[in-house]
Amino acid sequence: MKKIGILFCTSFIAAFLAHGQAATVPAAPSAVVTVLKAARMFDARSDSTVSNAVVIVEGTKIREVGSGLAIPAGATVVDLGDATLLPGFIDSHMHVTVEAGDDYVYSFFDGLRTTIAETAIKSTTHARKLLEAGFTTVRNLGAYDDEDVGLRNAIAKGYVPGPRLLVSRYALGANGGHCDQTGFPPNKLGPEWGPDKGKLSGPAEARQAVRLQVKYGADVIKMCVSGGVLSLGDDVQAPQMTDEEIAAAVDESHRLGRKTAAHAHGDLAARAAVKAGIDSIEHGSFMTDETLALMKAKGTYLVPTLLIGDWVTRPEAKLPPNIAAKAKAAVSVRSDMFRHALKTGVKIAFGTDAAVSYGIQAREFGLMTALGMSPAAALRSAGPGAADLLGISAQVGTLEKGKEADIVAVPGDPLADIHVTEKVNFVMKGGRIYRQPTR
């Protein structure tokens, strides 16, 4: 009986294959062609705009881009009028699964009461708001319980709308450091975290922590090498990971093909990370000219995160006294540091660290230009600059033939008024329109 079954299956497969060979193979459907028109375009490849802009999109890619191009027959035309087309914005430092409130203590208590499932569902609304505000790619630097991995995968599979995500899972850091659960008696928040959740002691555990983040889905490795502002139990400037731990983590990350980012307010910690070959310094509030010169020499990016500094020092922010003092100290020096970074020629990538009021992240552009950055340079920091830092410049960051059709439009001219970036009225990601002006 078994032999008869095998013969039947073999005959059926042979007949099926013969039928397939004889049948006509249908042609693949042609990709939809969409043409975007606007008064001007900033393609992020120069300091100026191109007038009478036309971008031809075929499927998910940009087919042609230029001024006054002929419209292909049968194409769908979207005329945006007196607007500027730009590459989709890239935020290099976000925490999409978190939303901080005005009251620090209440937000912490509410977080303890919130289930993982609720946090994951809420994060999908954050992702949608970011996308509708023009952010088509985001690097998420730190999350818990694989919420960022799940959100990244859900967006990639089309379950929910949102930016293209690169995620880090747990941030690496010293036991008792900024990225640990500090400020509480032993066992109040459960057992101590280990390398599986990024907490480490010694170079060997640093390598193990990197391996475990990569094993479970991290695209990038984030480490907290100095103290922070919003943590209860540390000095914002103090180095926390040893030079040997940082070097081991960076080496292991690069060996596994992952970029690295270092949360570092303090100068000594930032300098150790730069020496170790870190790809970017996040915040960098207290960095000196010596460290900035080293960053320039090694090609290390600065992600300044100005917006979060403004947010935590607002009068209405209810912070514990020690956290308020750290915020005031960091913000008091960050503006001069940023100006010195510009003067030194340090590479800068756009990043807000703003897990607050999703949709306002473009305010970072205005903060950067207010400190001396040109509008064109600020826009490029969220385009080719950020794309280079993230390692995805072949796919996104500029409006060029062959790249992903991640395109936004703003009213007027952002080179004349950078604040129009806060009024995005058209968003396309991967050739699909997610927002367009209402008529």
Q: What is the pLDDT of residues 366-393, one digit of tens each?
A: 999 999 999 999 999 999 999 999 999 9
The pairing of beta strand 259-264 with beta strand 280-283: parallel
Is 44 part of any domain? Answer: yes
Tell me, yes or no, whether 252 and 373 share the same domain. Answer: yes
- State pTM to two decimals: 0.91
Tell me, yes or no, whether 411 and 272 share the same domain. Answer: no
Is 154 part of any domain? Answer: yes
Q: Please list the helix, strand and coil fractions of the chain in percent, rounded to the nearest 5, in that order.
A: 40, 20, 40
Q: For 258-274, what is each residue's pLDDT tens digit?
A: 999 999 999 999 999 99
Tell me, yes or no, whether 355 and 262 share the same domain. Answer: yes
Q: What pLDDT, on a 0 to 100 scale, did the predictor assign at position 30?
A: 64
CATH code for position 53: 2.30.40.10
The pairing of beta strand 259-264 with beta strand 220-224: parallel
Is 7 part of any domain? Answer: no
Question: Of 60, 115, 70, which Cα lies nearest the Cα of 402?
Answer: 60
CB 154 within 8 A of CB 204: no
Tell me, yes or no, whether 308 and 358 share the same domain. Answer: yes
Tell me, yes or no, whether 333 and 344 share the same domain. Answer: yes
Is 20 part of any domain? Answer: no
Tell me, yes or no, whether 126 and 253 share the same domain. Answer: yes
Per-residue pLDDT of the chain in tens (439 residues, 90 and over written 9): 444 444 444 444 444 344 444 444 444 456 899 999 999 999 999 999 999 999 999 999 999 999 999 999 999 999 999 999 999 999 999 999 998 888 888 888 888 889 999 999 999 999 999 999 999 999 999 999 999 999 999 999 999 999 999 999 999 999 888 888 877 788 877 788 889 999 999 999 999 999 999 999 999 999 999 998 888 878 898 999 999 999 999 999 999 999 999 999 999 999 999 999 999 999 999 999 999 999 999 999 999 999 999 888 888 888 888 888 888 999 999 999 999 999 999 999 999 998 877 999 999 999 999 999 999 999 999 999 999 999 999 999 999 999 999 999 999 999 999 999 999 999 999 999 999 998 6
- Domain tally for the chain? 2
Is 9 part of any domain? Answer: no
For residue 345, give the amino acid letter. Answer: G
Is 13 part of any domain? Answer: no
Beta carbons within 8 Å of 131's beta carbon, 6+ residues apart:
161, 162, 163, 427, 429, 434, 435
Tell me, yes or no, whether 45 and 193 share the same domain. Answer: no
CATH code for position 217: 3.20.20.140
Tell me, yes or no, whether 81 and 176 share the same domain. Answer: no
Is 124 part of any domain? Answer: yes
Tell me, yes or no, whether 139 and 271 share the same domain. Answer: yes
Is 220 part of any domain? Answer: yes
Residue 81 DSSP label: -
Q: How far apart are CA 69 and CA 85, in angstroms?
A: 15
Tell me, yes or no, whether 137 and 209 share the same domain. Answer: yes
Tell me, yes or no, whether 73 and 126 share the same domain. Answer: no
> For residue 421, what are the domain limits?
33-88+399-435
Tell me, yes or no, whether 382 and 428 share the same domain. Answer: no
